Each structure stands twice: as structure tokens, then as C-alpha cells.
Amino acid sequence: MKTSISKRAILGLTMILGSMLIPGHTFSQSASPEAESNTQSKFTGTTQNYKIGPGDVIDIVVTKNDTLSRTGVRVSSQGTIQLAMLDNDLPAACLTESQLAERVKEAYKKYLVAPSVNVSVREFNSNPVAVIGAVNSPGRFQMQRPIRVAELLTFVNGPSANAGRTIDIIRDPSRPYCEGPNLVNPGPASEELLSLNLADAFKGGEQTNPFVKAGDIIRVAEADKVNAYIQGNIRSSLAISLAEPVTLTQAIAMAGGPTAGARLDKISIRRQISGSINRDELMVNLKDINQGKRDDVLLQPNDIIDVPGPSGSRKLLTDIFRTVIPAVTRVPIYIP
């Protein structure tokens, strides 16, 4: 028999885990900057193996040499820093504090016989995540270590009483990431929408409880609020409630209809595979539907509809949630 986890059990588990990890702290919008700083340090844990990233602010101390020492150095969007006496920017992203200290030490050997260098991160800004929706304390956080979805939910005091069954993760594949000691900029790409089962996430597993990535927006859906999403060359990108059956043609009409140049013969519906975070793609010719050559398509929960134009579809998934994202707490996020 397949076992299930009740919402009451999930709430109890997250409260227990939350009390173990962050005693006496919540992540509410009313928190002061000082409280946010304290909460952030408790949330992120050890920084021993933390990899420096764009937007981080670091201190570089060259022992007994105030001329070469620097404090409050911000890592650029290209992952580099500028230091005194060096002609070229020094790569800093994707290195730990000790690795960057060694790199700075090598660079200064042309000026000093045996330089001693210490590097420390003053502000952690390169790995932001946001948790919104049906959770008790929505907020924005900076990760300093790998963390999975279920553990992240404990830092917002778990799902709220009106939480539904679904967790949505909005992910930006164009965000730079580390590949070994190098910062990779993948270039423009459309956002991804990953949907997870809330109960399954707390059971663990790579597919049901994946690691969170920098820039992720995690949303716990409210009960009885099941959506599909339409984006691209239509008047308005939006989330469409599926409380009542909705077809593809209805969804396009609800979005205000197509814009000039929309490729109605190449509409894409990305549909999640049951029990997986992966999706299948269904290509639909809306002209065939309008001419009665094929049946209309009934949308399913978490479908993503892309209406392309002359240069492909537009990247607008984040726009759908733009009205709810600013409501989270004020932990600073620096966007390169």
C-alpha cells in the first residue's frame, strides 16, 4: 500500500526541524536589518567551502601591508576583482576564501618576497533564493551551502494551513554558474518551471527533493489553486486558474489574444511527466483547431504555453509572478 504524509504531519515536521535549526528566529517581513543579518548567518551555516560569486563583498588583508590590503571589494558580474598594483582584474568567482587568498598571494609575489594573505567574505550576495506563496514566513535568503527544497521550507516555518499539494520552482537557466574554478555564463534562455509534490519532497530523493539553485523562486501553491501558465507573443503573460476546465484557445483569449507576428502554427505546451521534474513538449497548430481539423487541447495543471514570434518565444515566466515576489522580506539581493 502506498503511504502518504498528511498536511498536519508536514507542518509538525517543519516546525520541529525549524526549531532545531533556527531557534528563536523567524523570517518575517517586519524583521530589522540587524535581525535579518543574524538570521542569515544562522540560516546559511558554515562558509568553509563557500564559493565566492558575483555580487559578494570581500575583504583582502595582506599582512603588514596596508597599501595592498583592501576591504569592501565587490566581485563584478564577470566574477573578477580589482586590486592595487595589478594591471589586470583578478578572477575571484568560484573560488573559496583560501583559494582566492592563494591566487592573490601569487599575484603579489612580484612585489613581496613572502606575502601573507587572508580573504574573508563580508557580504554574501551571489546565491539568492526566494520562498513565496502558502508558507508561514515568506522571505528572501542568501545560501552559503547546498540546500534542498524540503530543508529550505523549514526556514520559512513550513507550509501554511492553506497550502496545497504543489511546490513550483521558477529557475533561470541563463544565470551564471560555477564549473570547477571557472564562472560559466550560459547566455539568454527561457525560465524553467519545475513542479514538485509537497508531500513527496519531505520523503527525500533527487527527483522529489532537489537541490535549490541560486536565483530560484520557490512557491508553495494554495489549496484548490491549480494553474497553467501562458507566455510569449500574447497580450498578457499570466497564470490561468484551472478550477474549471480550460482549453488552449480559451487560455489565449484570456491572455488578450496573440500579438502581431505570433506563430500560431507552432504553439508549444510543455507538460510535466508524472512523477518527474522533466517535461514533454506538445506542438499545436492553433489554425488547425480554429478550422476544425483537430480537437482543442484541454490544459493540465502546471502546463506552460509558449506562443512564439518571429524570433522565438519571449522570456516572461518571472513576469507572471512579479506582483507577488516583492512582498517577501528585505534581505538584500544584488543582481549582476
What would the pLDDT profile of 80-124 be if each residue is shown by its tens digit? 999 999 999 999 999 999 999 999 999 999 889 999 999 999 999
Residue 80 within any structural domain of the chain: yes
191 located within any domain: no
pLDDT tens-digit readout, 7-41: 444 444 444 333 333 322 323 333 333 333 333 43
Residue whose C-alpha is closest to residue 43's, from 129, 134, 167, 166: 129
Domain that holds residue 254: 227-313
Which residue do the cell numbers 612585489 mark?
A: 111
Q: How many domains does the chain have?
A: 2
CA distances (Å), 180 to each of 6, 95, 183, in order? 41, 9, 8
3 state SS of 319:
helix
Q: Which one, of 245, 246, 220, 217, lies nearest residue 305 by Cα?
A: 246
CA dihedral 100, 101, 107, 112 (to 10 degrees): 180
Q: Is residue 69 part of a domain?
A: yes
State how beta strands 128-133 and 217-222 pair.
parallel
The least confident of 163-172, 275-284, 318-327 is 318-327
Q: Does residue 47 form part of some domain?
A: no
Closest by CA position to 201, among listed 241, 242, 163, 173: 163
Higher pLDDT, 278 or 48: 278
Residue 270 — φ and ψ, nearest 5°? -95, 115
pTM over 0.85: no
Which of 92, 123, 154 represents a domain boundary (last residue)? 123
Of the three residues 86, 106, 123, the one that is the final residue of a domain is 123
pLDDT at residue 249 greater than cutoff 50: yes
Q: Give the separation between CA 84 and CA 222, rounded to whole angstroms.
A: 53
pLDDT digits (tens, 9 = 90+) for 207-218: 889 999 999 999
User: Domain end: 71, 103, 123, which one?
Assistant: 123
pLDDT tens for 138-153 read 988 899 888 999 999 9
Domain of 293, CATH number, reads: 3.10.560.10
Residue 32 is predicted with a pLDDT of 33
pLDDT digits (tens, 9 = 90+) for 266-319: 999 999 887 677 889 999 999 999 999 999 999 998 899 999 987 655 555 665
Least confident of 196-200, 205-209, 216-220, 329-333: 329-333
Whether 4 maps to a domain, the answer reads no
What is the mean predicted confidence (pLDDT) over 37-57? Answer: 64
Report pLDDT for 292: 93
Indicate whether 2 belongs to any domain. Answer: no
CATH code of the domain in which 112 resides = 3.30.1950.10
